[in-house]
Structure 1
Amino acid sequence: MKILFLVSSLNTGGAERVATTLASAWARRGDDVTLVSTFPRRGTCFYPLDAGVKLVWIADRLNGAGHPLRVTAAKLRILRKMMVDEAPDVVISFLTNVNVMALLAHRGLKVPIIVCERTNPAAASNSGAVLRVLRRLTYPRADVVTVQTESSVEPFRRMVPGIRRLEVVSNPLPPELLERPLRPMVSVGRKRLTAMGRLVPAKQFDLLIEAFSLLAPQHPDWDLVIWGDGPMRDALVRQVAGLGLDDRISLPGRSDAPWDELSKADAFALTSAVEGFPNVLLEAMALGLPCIAFDCPSGPAEMTRQGEDALLVPVGDTAALCKGLERLMREPALRADLARRGAESVRKRYALPQVLERWDDIMKQAE
């Protein structure tokens, strides 16, 4: 099969990791895959990419278009020309802005096109009014639209009426992660609660810091490490200093080896107000970490089988978060049980072969 795969940038991020994982897997099995970064500036591919994938930076073809409207017009021409010249069997697009552009460029062509939302579209606020209108106008032209969780389906149907076919496909676990051993059930010395993500309001790391500060005196052998960077760094650093916990709570920045850092932890916390499909929670569970998560829209409930494989607490409820964290810190048997069950569950349900099989079904539906 010949696949033309469109994504915005290829920097760090969940969509980028999934795009490179899928493109590499398809190329390894013999598909002809062209992966196109539509971002107007050239970059680098942060995640590993199979040598069989043809990588195209649309920035190399813009010829200094300059004004944003000219850049957009040039992108549309380039994408349409690629859809014609490459003659793919299917076009796949990730992220709302890229999806809209792909559908505009695709107008009148017969090649099947699948567009994929990479957040929970009913809860996310990162799409402006114009983009939401364009999504409503263009998505009914797609052969298939995908979301990442069952809980997103009905809200999205109401948001964007007229979609021909709306399907759910989850993110796969990277195969390289599944080659790693599970972290040891028993650790020696100080214990570490870890969180990871962009330091932005939606991640609610301030609530995690507050909850940990309430438990820190009763659990002097535990520390909190929050990996990531972003606009809230200064505010979070001030919060930690104000609590007098600089020696117990650290914010070391972004890690180039996130799985290594997760494997050093004794527990993982996800405190987001909203997610699309939190890869970091999935990866923490797959590595054998006992996890606690806010039951935010969307992802954690389905990922943890409604709290069977991790502790699930109401969104924004600091008291419930404290109670759950206290259980994790106090009960090594609970940590071991959640770690075992969580790893077994997600490694089975989100392994790459299962997700690729689902993608094959969706591509057949688009024909």
Structure 2
Amino acid sequence: MKILLVQHESFINGSGGTERICCFLANGFVTFGWQVEIATNENIEGDPIFPLDERVVVTNIYDKTAIQKKIKPLINYRGKNPLLWIKYKLRKKYAKLFNKVRYVRYGGKDGLHEFNLSHRSEVWKSYLDHTRPDLIVTMTISSVLELTYKNNINIPIINSTNGRPDHDYTDVLWYRSELEMSLLKDAFKNLAGIQVLFDSYQDFLPPTFNGISRTIPNPILDMGDTNVVDHLEEKDRYKILHLGRLVGSHKQQHIAIEAFGEIAHKYPDWDLEFWGEGEDYAVLFQKIKDANLENRIFLKGFTDQPSQVLQQGDIFIFPSRHEGFPLALAEAMYVGLPSVGLTDCCGVNEMIEHGKNGFLAADLAEMRSHLEMMVQDSGLRQRMGMNAHFAIRKHTPEHILSQWNELIQTVTRS
């Protein structure tokens, strides 16, 4: 069997959960004796971040001759040089005029979106006609749209949903036009199967989906011979940890800084560490500096050894606004860290059982209170940490791959 995995953007040089799961599936599928290729369409140079089996082929189908009509970015100058301020002001005025003319020419933002989408989908159709896979596994519903827009694809497609499904086709989290949401919903019609992360996520599939659905969680990866944290061991210093991309609108690391900042003076032997990279590094650094906590809160950067980092921790804090299946939280639970997250965060509220393996907080005040409760009580951390470990350790790569194998066999037989 020849399987094509498609992540149409952000795969090259991408270090997020979707890229990680894409590589995991590719590596797993080749162990079944299948021919596996990953395809993307990106105007970028680089390589996959996560390790791939040498048998997996990675193809970037980007075609610089494919027509794409782009708009110009609107950049605000934030410095104090008056000459540069004038320069950027004029650039912004020109960009606004350019974009207005372009939108008028192509029928508005939606018209421009469809124009560009149609040309990208032509490139995908040509590629699929050449490669002729037996099965396509897409990593996002947007990738399904890229493949199927105005195309007749007679190849079964399974979508791997790395979040709550409605986040991929509605404007729940960010703006999407009515046209874009309609196109994304229609893309579900082209699916023979779909994988969702929790049973509750089945309720968020659109009525346009008529394929086979299975609940398959993400695996716990790269943990090796992990030792479960012993919270009864005395230390000179203790750590509250967070792993994740530094994106305030999504991961909300500022809430962790505020919660810890309110109790830090009471517990001088505790620190807060953030592991990860992202566009909001400077914002978070300034927030730490404003709180005068540079010697207690640290931005540590990217790690490719999460288990080693987590095994040095004592509490995991995860104030995300939304998640799919939060791998960082799962890995923290696996090593026996009790966690605190937000009650209304999907994914997080599926994995943290309030009062059993961690705490769910309704707001900043509750997060601070729950955090302080765990800081004060090593016995509580020990009980919750062990509960967390036993709750998550069933998500082994072998078990997850067997479930994927069953879904693929069911789809290809039907």
- Per the TM superposition, whether the score is higher than 0.5 is yes
Q: 1:118 to 1:126 in 2, by over 3 A?
A: farther
Taking every aligned residue pair, what percent have the same amino acid on both sides?
A: 24
Asked if structure 2 preserves the Cα contact closer than 8 Å seen for 1:172 and 1:352, the reply is: yes
Equivalent-residue separation in structure 1 for 2:355 and 2:155 (angstroms)? 42
User: How far off is 1:64 after superposition?
Assistant: 4.3
Equivalent-residue separation in structure 1 for 2:330 and 2:60 (angstroms)? 30
Q: Residue type of the partner of 2:250?
A: A
User: How far off is 1:318 after superposition?
Assistant: 1.2
**2:59 is the alignment partner of 1:15:** no
Superposed, 1:91-240 pairs within 5 Å as 91-104=136-149, 107-123=151-167, 125-126=173-174, 128-129=176-177, 130-154=179-203, 156-157=204-205, 160-165=206-211, 166-174=213-221, 176-185=222-231, 186=233, 188-199=235-246, 200-240=248-288
Normalised by the size of structure 1, how large is the TM-score?
A: 0.88
Asked if structure 2 preserves the Cα contact closer than 8 Å seen for 1:42 and 1:57, the reply is: no
Q: 1:52 to 1:81 in 2, by over 3 A?
A: same
Asked if structure 2 preserves the Cα contact closer than 8 Å seen for 1:205 and 1:271, the reply is: yes
Asked if structure 1 preserves the Cα contact closer than 8 Å seen for 2:141 and 2:187, the reply is: no
CA displacement, residues 311-337 of structure 1 (integer Å, 9 cap, x when unaligned): 23134x112111211121111112122
User: How far off is 1:66 after superposition?
Assistant: 5.7
Equivalent-residue separation in structure 1 for 2:5 and 2:154 (angstroms)? 16
- Structure 2: state its 5+ residue gaps: 70-112
Superposed, 1:1-367 pairs within 5 Å as 1-7=1-7, 8=9, 9-10=11-12, 11-59=14-62, 62-65=63-66, 67-68=68-69, 72-73=117-118, 75-104=120-149, 107-123=151-167, 125-126=173-174, 128-129=176-177, 130-154=179-203, 156-157=204-205, 160-165=206-211, 166-174=213-221, 176-185=222-231, 186=233, 188-199=235-246, 200-304=248-352, 306-307=353-354, 309-315=356-362, 317-348=363-394, 350-367=395-412
Q: Residue type of the partner of 1:115?
A: N
Equivalent-residue separation in structure 1 for 2:225 and 2:330 (angstroms)? 15
Equivalent-residue separation in structure 2 for 1:119 and 1:113 (angstroms)? 18
The more displaced of 50-59 and 119-128 is: 119-128
User: How far off is 1:14 after superposition?
Assistant: 0.2
Q: Residue type of the partner of 1:109?
A: I
Equivalent-residue separation in structure 1 for 2:131 and 2:227 (angstroms)? 41
CA displacement, residues 105-158 of structure 1 (integer Å, 9 cap, x when unaligned): 7x433321112332224355256324322111221221123332223221x23x
Normalised by the size of structure 2, how large is the TM-score?
A: 0.79
Higher relative contact order, structure no. (Cα contacts within 8 Å, ≥ 6 residues apart): 1
Q: Considering only CA atoms, is the larger Rg found in Structure 1 or Structure 2? A: 2
Alignment coverage as a number of residue pairs = 357
Q: Report the aligned-residue RMSD.
A: 2.4
